[in-house]
Amino acid sequence: MEIMDPLYDKKANFVGWLLEYSNVFNNDLKWVAYINNNYVWSKKTRIWIGGLRGTNLLDRDGRIVAWSISGPVVGGLEIIKAPLDIGPPFLSVVPIIHEFPFNPGYAPEPAGEWSKLTFTQWINQR
């Protein structure tokens, strides 16, 4: 069984899903990003957009864009330069979600800073 972690923004709005620490889907289950070695690339633009720390998606400066209730909300140290992109993985099947995740009500105080980018802005970086 695949692990799907719901993702929330700094206002605790549901924004997407983290699949197995390797792929990111938006809240409509559209595949929007892929992860390799804890670096995240936009599937659409093939641009490096940030990092993964636990179940937290970070912008290029290590600030938190999206978080999950599956772990602590922690940012990272500043990410200096883009890593080598190996290209998107082969995605065999889009996951099926049978129920909408519950809203946690509020975002916890993070260890680190919140990103100025929204989830959509982060995904669509050029």
Domain boundaries, the chain: 4-123
- CA atoms within 13 A of residue 113's CA, in its CB half-sphere: 10
Strand 39-42: give its sheet, edge to edge.
Answer: 4-8, 14-19, 23-26, 31-36, 39-42, 48-53, 56-58, 64-66
Assess contact for 115 and 65: CB atoms under 8 A.
Answer: yes
Provide the pLDDT for residue 114: 96
Tokens of 25: 């889907």
pLDDT recorded at residue 92: 62
Residue 1 has a pLDDT of 61
Determine what percent of the chain is predicted with pLDDT higher than 90.
63
- Looking at per-residue pLDDT, the higher value among 100 and 118 belongs to 118
Task: Report the half-sphere exposure of 44 (CA within 13 A, side-chain side).
Answer: 13
The tens digit of pLDDT for each residue in 60-75 reads: 999 999 999 999 999 9
Task: Tell me what pLDDT residue 100 has.
Answer: 78
Question: Average model confidence (pLDDT) for the chain?
Answer: 89
